[in-house]
Structure 1
Amino acid sequence: MTVLSKILYGSMHVKSYDWVEPTVLASNQQVRLAKLHADDVLTAPCPTTVLYPQSGGNLHSFTSVASCAVLDVLAPPYAEDAGRICTYFNDYPFSSFSSGRAKTFDSPDNYAWIEAINSPVYINMRPGMYTGPTVQDRLS
């Protein structure tokens, strides 16, 4: 899934990760290792961000710093039957868990352990389908 995000107004903290490949799991825990891609506060107006399925911080979280709105365009959209599910997560510092392979990573501040969680009750999203003109792909 590719994600385009645009802050419409206000500012928010954006934190994003990409999975470490091959998969690294913590010993005796349900957490997986990810590499930090971005940890920034963005304020409108700012450029649109693009997250790709395997890179660019596809595991991401938004936290409001001031009143804000973000337009998040997902292509293709979430579809559980097609394996594109919306998953929520907690992130933990690298030092929180251990793994046999994890010792080989330099700069531990650039890594975090990701744990899938149930949907938070405080989420406020408004899903919708694009009903505008057909978007033409101009890639050659």
Structure 2
Amino acid sequence: MHRQTVVPPPPPMALQRLVEACRSSFDGSDTPPAADVVSFVCSMIDKIGPEDVALMDDVRFSNEINAGGHQNSPIITYKSIYECSNFTITVFFLPQGAAMPLHDHPGMTVFSKLLVGSAHVVSYDWVCPRVCAVAGSSKSEMLAEKVLDREFTSASGAWVLFPETGGNLHRFVAVKDGPCAFLDVITPRYSPTSETQQQFAFYKDFPYELHPNVVHSELTEEQKRRLAWLQEIDEPEDLRISNLPYRGPPIE
């Protein structure tokens, strides 16, 4: 009897085109992409939907693991859709009420887009030159300016943070009406074992009024509302993240 060969389905066209766009656009350096490249990649990301990234695997895992587990923090899942030496494409899934704590992406440009649900995003950039509340302390608070404080949905489109601007330090929370999932395209590729790439860090934010006299300038009330002190902290003990395999069609 002749055994029929099973041919895997082709990758979703939108996802394949996004990968090809990133291949042609990113060289793996920590220099931010040019404006025309940013616009081009964002236009490709905006064509991606939940059906393109096998999102139902995340939904099933979340329903099985997080159901009834109110005594523990909900588990955030992530999976790598595609990675190479120059960039990675990843999907994060946050159950209802889950939060990714305030963290940075040193030296990296990150494109993000909500695929389903909605998330509240707060992001900061460092005030340059970096102003410290307590000079000489490794755990001193450093002054940052708020860039984003708003809710995103799948209709919001892609947004971008750069190594020094655009809200490189950010926190996002799945709002109370349900889970959310978002796509990240990160360049250069994050390498936690790299000897040259700075490792990402977690932070806690405090109101500007904590040290109001450190900044020797006249500030308006509006400017004060945009400022906060950020202190580096250890990874939160209640942060629970699980890696899932990508089971969608392979990328060519």
What range describes the TM-score normalised by the shorter chain of this pair? 0.7 to 0.9
- Equivalent of 2:228, from 112, 127, 133? 112
User: Which residue is equivalent to 2:123?
Assistant: 16
Q: Report the CA distance between 1:124 and its aligned residue.
A: 2.5
Query: Does structure 2 conserve the Cα–Cα contact (< 8 Å) formed by 1:26 and 1:98?
Result: no
Q: How far, CA to CA, are the matches of 1:35 and 1:127 in structure 2?
A: 35
- Equivalent of 1:82, from 196, 211, 215? 196
- Larger of the two Rg values belongs to structure: 2
* Structure 2: runs of 5+ lacking an equivalent: 1-107
* Structure 1: runs of 5+ lacking an equivalent: 134-140
> Normalized against structure 1, the TM-score is what?
0.81
User: Which residue is equivalent to 1:137?
Assistant: none
- Give the ranges of 4+ consecutive aligned residues of structure 1 lying more than 6 Å apart after TM superposition: none
User: Which residue is equivalent to 1:32?
Assistant: 142
CA displacement 1:10-67 (0-9 Å, x = unmatched): 0111001111001100136611000110100112222111101111111111111031
More helix by share: 2
Q: How far, CA to CA, are the matches of 2:130 and 2:160 in structure 1?
A: 23
User: Which residue is equivalent to 1:136?
Assistant: none
- Output the amino acid matched with 1:44: S
Query: Does structure 2 conserve the Cα–Cα contact (< 8 Å) formed by 1:78 and 1:84?
Result: no
Query: Does structure 2 conserve the Cα–Cα contact (< 8 Å) formed by 1:16 and 1:36?
Result: yes
Report sequence identity in percent: 34
